[in-house]
Amino acid sequence: MSPLPLSVYLQLKFRAVQVKPVQDSELSKKQQVEQMFDHISPRYDFLNRLLSFGIDRNWRKKVRKAVAAKGHRHILDVATGTADLAVELCKIPASQTVGIDISAGMLSVGEQKIRGLNLHNRIVLQQADSEKLPFPDGNFDAVTVAFGVRNFEKLQNGITEMLRVIKPGGHLFVLEFSKPKNRFFSALYWFYFKAILPRLGRLLSKNSSAYSYLPRSVDAFPEGENFKRVLQDCGGLNVIIKPLTFGISSLYQCEKA
């Protein structure tokens, strides 16, 4: 797929910023996202497994294998949530992971998980803003983020910050939802995403906005070649895109100069 014209691309790039959990709220997107995840955190893992049919576990394995293939050991996991990806990354021998998230509720669930798995000596969690990372330049071998960049208030700021804290020659790995290209599968995908998932999510999480926000944010996100262009604009080199599960999600990889 060829990149869109610049004017259209710029509109797409900033649509994701404009899509908020509650559009008519006076709160910023960042504040709304924090509150939303705090509210759904107790049932987040259960809902993830149920609503994704468990496929999300396989996607995280793909990220871990990609990181391991580059030989990276000191990793920052941005928007770590309940630390699912951070836990998966512990399967890389001798690796150490710092996980950050804006939601204290999600981190609390993650801390319980880490203690239960006795991984407290391999993973450190802390509350932080993904767009203002509290780490020096070139501090990590790699940065990972799974299903988090859609929630950035300023997408380019978040990408630039993640690249800033990577050592030269290190890599950024972004796992994010994308849009299937096959017409038949795409129709099924969007029917589930827009008609079924929000109802199930609302019923099980008791949150009216979280699972209606999900398909809206995916629809607005500049995925594929357009997100590749965002990564390049922010300084990412040698961008690779790997569609997963018929294009439901994609794994993006780029190098820090």
pLDDT tens digit sequence for 74-86: 999 999 999 999 9
- Rounded to whole angstroms, the Cα distance separating 131 from 109 reads 22
Question: How confident is the model at residue 154, as a pLDDT?
Answer: 93
pLDDT band per the 50, 70, 90 thresholds, residue 22: confident
pLDDT-derived band at 1 (thresholds 50, 70, 90) equals very low
CA pair distance 100, 79, nearest whole angstrom: 6
What angle (nearest 5°) sits at the alpha carbon of residue 208, between those of residues 178 and 31?
Answer: 75
DSSP 10-31: HHHHHHHHH--SSTT-SS-HHH
Name the amino acid, one letter, at 231.
L
Q: What is the pLDDT of residue 198?
A: 86
Structure tokens at 162: 């993640």
* pLDDT over 70 at 113, yes or no: yes
Which pLDDT score, from 0 to 100, does residue 7 have? 47
- In the block, tokens 């908020």 appear at 20
pTM over 0.85: yes
> Can you tell me the mean pLDDT for 24-40?
90
Going by C-alpha positions, the residue among 85, 102, 81 that lies closest to residue 174 is 85
CB atoms within 10 A of CB 38: 16
Residue 57 predicted with pLDDT over 80 = yes
The Cα diameter of the chain in Å comes to 50
The average confidence (pLDDT) of the chain is 91
Record the tokens describing residue 27, joined without a space.
Answer: 């709160």
| Alpha-carbon span 210 to 98, nearest angstrom | 26
Supply the pLDDT for residue 46. 87
- List the chain domain ranges: 6-255
For 6-255, CATH gives 3.40.50.150
Given a contact cutoff of 8 angstroms between Cβ atoms, the answer to whether 190 and 218 are in contact is: no
Is 50 exceeded by the pLDDT of residue 68? yes
- Give the angle subtended at the CA of 158 by the CAs of 157 and 163, to the nearest 5°: 100
Whether 247 has a pLDDT exceeding 60, the answer reads yes
Provide the pLDDT confidence category of residue 60 given band limits of 50, 70 and 90: very high
- 207 band by pLDDT with thresholds 50, 70 and 90: confident
The CA distance from 165 to 61, in Å, is 23
Distance (Å, whole) CA 217 – CA 194: 11
